[in-house]
Amino acid sequence: MLKSCYSCSSYDPYMLEIPTINELTSEEKERNFIRNGAVLLEMQIACFKGKGKEPIKIYSDEDIYRATNGYHPAQIIGRNIATVYRGNLEDRAVAIKTRHGLSGSDELIEFFLNQVTIKQHISHKNVVRLYGCCLETHVPMLVHELMHGNLFDHLHRSSECWISWKNRLRIATEIAYAISYMHSAESKPIVHRNVKSASIFLDESLSAKLSNFGLSISIDPEELKPEWPLVGSEGYIDPEYAETLVVSEKCDVYSFGVVMVELITGKDPANMWKQGGDLVSYFISYTTQNCVLDIVDQRLLLEGSVKSTIAQFTELTMRSLWTRVQGVEGVATQDDRIWSDVEVPYLEHYGLKDFRTCRRRIILNQMVLTKQLLVASSPLMVAYPPIAKPGCQDICGNVSIPYPFGIGDDCYHSLPYEVTCNTSLLHPKLFLNEFNLEVEQISIHTLVQNTITVKTPLQRTCSILDTNISSIDLRGTPYLFTAGYNSLFVGGCGSSTLLLDRSNKIIGGCATVCDKIPMITNDCIGRGCCSFNLPSSLDFYSVNIFNFGNGTNDCTNAMLMNRTSSIISGAVDPSLSKFAVVPTVLEWTPGNITMPADDPNKNCQGPPDKYDCYCNYGTFGNPYLPYGCQVPKECKECKLGCTKQGNHYLCVRYNSDKSHTRLILLVLLGGSIVGLMLCTGNISCIYLCVKKRRHLKMKEKFFHQNGGFVLKQRLSLNQGSNDSTRIFTTQELREATNNYSKNNILGRGGFGTVYKGILPNHQVVAVKKSMVSDQSQVEQFINEVVILTQINHRNVVKLLGCCLETEVPLLVYEFVSNGTLFDHIHNNGAQWLSWENCLRISTEAANAISYLHSAASMPIIHRDIKSSNILLDDNFTAKIADFGVSRLVPIDQTQVTTLVQGTFGYLDPEYFLTSHLSEKSDVCSFGVVLVELLTKRKPISWETGLEDRNLAMQFISSVKSNQFCDILEPQLMKEASQEQLFSIADLVEKCLSVKGDDRPSMKDVATELEGLMKKIIIQPCSNQHDNEEHRHLIILPSEDQNVTRQINFEEDLIVEMSSPC
């Protein structure tokens, strides 16, 4: 057991200067919560919920105070630029970290939010897990899993925390896999930008975990690489990045190389840098003179294994540190000149001046600037009538700014209409200065009124006493609460709510009963929630809430919000933070606006203080601007007028000149049947109510029958999962699949049918509908959901959610558009897979299976690897699917005993005979898939003789008899080289070994396939018997190999490949 090496860290023995719980008022907490990025964080959490991601938990300052024993000095386990406390939350030990010296700054908020965002994208056992955060203190806090010191402390601050050479190699290997996962497993590579020994933490068993993601970014390798500000730690920064400011995965490779030098020498790179030296130059100088043993940490030389492995480790370190800086200076200088000379006027819409002044924004791990520029420069915008005064900004983010609103002097009509574009967070946000509220939309004459939608705070009380809450005060402003849009929603368990006007006169009210229904929908009728509409012309109100819940923790939420908001199209959880915001619609009417008398396209009326204007029929634009109503170009030829649909204008066309008469006749006809409808209304209502009740009971029955409660319990216990699975309703999936139309069928099989569906957010999904329902299938269904929540890899099909309300449970996956590998191998009409594609697909699948076995939080054995469970997208990227029979394996076990399950022809013979399931069972099945790719034959053929029925046995037999080229697909023999065919035959033979212990790991398989990918040479396999010299080849890595792969350093420096021919 390792001694806790936080004791190796140095810190000042005094308390962190954070106000205790008693020193923070509720107002201070609210200000801190908002200032620390609460709105943005809530948006991110909502985004991850919509994508099946598990959100972090937001802790209160009371939680943190109790967990750290009142921030007691004895709880401090580390202090540098941040202070780390040991704490206990939810019966588990945690580390609570807060930075100091940056309270309230934009840098701190960006640094904090970036860590949260990046961490939610990463699920790897060698990355420190983030449990949650606290925003109510002056400085935001992060709650991590508890580690036992970092690598820097172990190497440089104490002799008691000594790390052996064997452990240093293992630590380097684990961090290499974590960085490689960040670079390759996500659709967009994540670059850490601060890889150093202080960012590598160790647990009690010295397992390494990467942390400190505050400077990390996500890059798109297909887009133009922008310049980024130079960040990182002295002594670790890639010199090519320092010269060009261009970020790539190679920046992390170089920094990791410095860590490897640190592991070899035991010297501190930052300390040498401060003293004017450079550890890398020091290392390279000794290495090139073959004197590396002179700089090795002398304590390591006492271990016998060092001298035998130091040469390979040093070679890999040198390759990681290799940088191509020749000629970079001229290119960088030229780029600086080009970018600084570019004039980009429409960037002003986004609060920007030019490309050189674009501030770094890291939100949801992707740069959206390029897409914004394309939209902003669209030629359609030129044809639109103006909405703002000339020279004034008319858009902020995705919110248009019509006059009388405006940003800056002479752009708005009067102070109540002044708005500000905040460009410091996420996309630019528009704020109404009068109330400091975020603006969602500004509309002119929507349903007769001019409206502005703002985000107002949700009101919350947990007191059992009588509580009075006031609204924002609109008195003396041109704004009113809009009765046509807003309703007051009240959610809670047992409360009475009254709505009072400015004179405390009761103007509405409702009550909720304690029915423990925790959702607010637009069907609020008293059971857990209630709602009522507002009277017109209201500029102020207060809400009086009396909470008569049974417990002291019963809270009531009151929110004035837009009835058509997407928030209540589903449900609102009343446990929302009291600092959450909801959309509220205000109406506005300007006054004292001078208009030209000769403007024929608008009509203005009303008293001077409420001067209401609108554009005449057929004209569009802003009636509050001089000559602001215009006829768009598309409407010039319209004879009967013009309408606007989205970003386009369409001419109005009538089918007949008698349209008006037909309309009158239709109205009369409709009135004549109203009486009949009223007569049958009561009967229909009773019938529908009974039918709806029966339908709800059936859904409850199916939810229980399909393991809904078990699934919820399993997911709640699944602390390590990366995905929080969404539970869909039957109505959602029925609409998505067009009522399970035959035209939407993607595939059929013994399991059932897969349908293509389109969700309301336009996301394309695949809905898996089983054919029959029994208890074993329910268990498989629950198992598949739980397994997939453990996985986050770009080569594994993502599970988006499930539906439990039908007789047969349904699974909802991401849509993979190009069918299965089986289809492309065996169907004559499918697109031909070239040798290069075959190698790439097998490499991607091998990497995904290797991830399941070694990088997931708990090892996962798939148990049904086959070509029909490998899906391909439009780019022929492979994705592993179907985890219905997969198994989680405890970390301390290498195999489990279980009932044999799988597919005949792919099944591991050792598993079949002994029922002992291990990772090597997947290796055997994957070997069969490789044989399929090589031969284009099915694993089992009932048309052939008994000796040739099993493809795997036939392949092994042909290899041993030096005749395996006879069963290869002829076209592949033309595309592949002899060296590749011999090598992959040797690999397949190892994978298909009868004894599992003789098979390679999936990590080794993936490594060997990656090596083959780099050596694609078109050479036919024409005469196998003349090439015995190829049976044993030594293949050395080329100098221009992808350096990123080199951090996956294992036994792949020299690969021995033997031909079976």
- 3-class DSSP state of 271: helix
Total H helices, total E strands in the chain: 27, 46
The structure tokens listed for 740 are: 């399970």
The structure tokens listed for 449 are: 């009124």
Nearest-angstrom CA–CA distance, 1037 and 1043: 11
Beta strands in 838-970 (DSSP E): 860-861, 870-872, 878-880, 887-888, 895-897, 916-918
Nearest-angstrom CA–CA distance, 337 and 567: 48
Q: Roughly what angle, to the nearest 10 degrees, separates helices 1002-1013 and 978-991? A: 170
Asked whether the beta carbons of 97 and 144 are under 8 A apart, the reply is: yes
Residue burial 369-402, b: 16+ Cβ < 10 Å; e: rest: beebbeebeeeeeeebbbbbbeebbbbbbebbbb
> In what helix (H) or strand (E) does residue 644 lie, and over which residues does it extend?
strand 642-645
Q: Which of 708, 855, 712, 726 is nearest to 792 (CA)?
A: 855
Number of Cβ atoms within 10 Å of the Cβ of 737: 21
Residue burial 278-315, b: 16+ Cβ < 10 Å; e: rest: bbbebbbebbeeeebeebbbeebeeeeebeeebeebbe
Nearest-angstrom CA–CA distance, 226 and 743: 44
Q: Which of 514, 534, 532, 524 is nearest to 572 (CA)?
A: 524
Asked whether the beta carbons of 707 and 809 are under 8 A apart, the reply is: yes
What is the DSSP pairing of strand 449-457 with strand 581-588? antiparallel
The structure tokens listed for 277 are: 């030296």
What is the DSSP pairing of strand 799-803 with strand 726-727? parallel
Q: For tokens 């890889």, name the residue.
A: 195
Give the gyration radius of the chain's Cα atoms: 33
Beta strands in 433-573 (DSSP E): 437-446, 449-457, 459-461, 466-470, 479-481, 486-492, 495-500, 506-512, 529-533, 542-547, 556-562
Ligand-binding annotation for 768, yes or no, is: no
Work out the burial of residue 828: count CB atoms within 10 Å of its CB; fewer than 13 is exposed, 13-18 middle, 19 or more buried.
exposed
- 599 is an active site residue: no
Nearest-angstrom CA–CA distance, 493 and 455: 25
Asked whether the beta carbons of 769 and 740 are under 8 A apart, the reply is: yes
Question: For every residue of 228-252, which 3-state class applies, written as one string?
Answer: CCCCCCCCCCCHHHHHHCECCHHHH
Nearest-angstrom CA–CA distance, 518 and 492: 7
Work out the burial of residue 458: count CB atoms within 10 Å of its CB; fewer than 13 is exposed, 13-18 middle, 19 or more buried.
buried
- 3-class DSSP state of 544: strand
Q: For tokens 């008691």, name the residue.
A: 160
Residue type, 774: D
Which candidate in 864, 908, 986, 1004 is catalytic? Answer: 864
Instruction: Provide the residue count of the chain.
Output: 1061
Q: Which of 86, 61, 73, 67 is nearest to 145 (CA)?
A: 86
- Report the DSSP beta bridge partners of residue 588: 479
Known catalytic residues? 864
Q: List residues forming the annotated binding site.
A: 769
Annotated binding site for ATP: 769
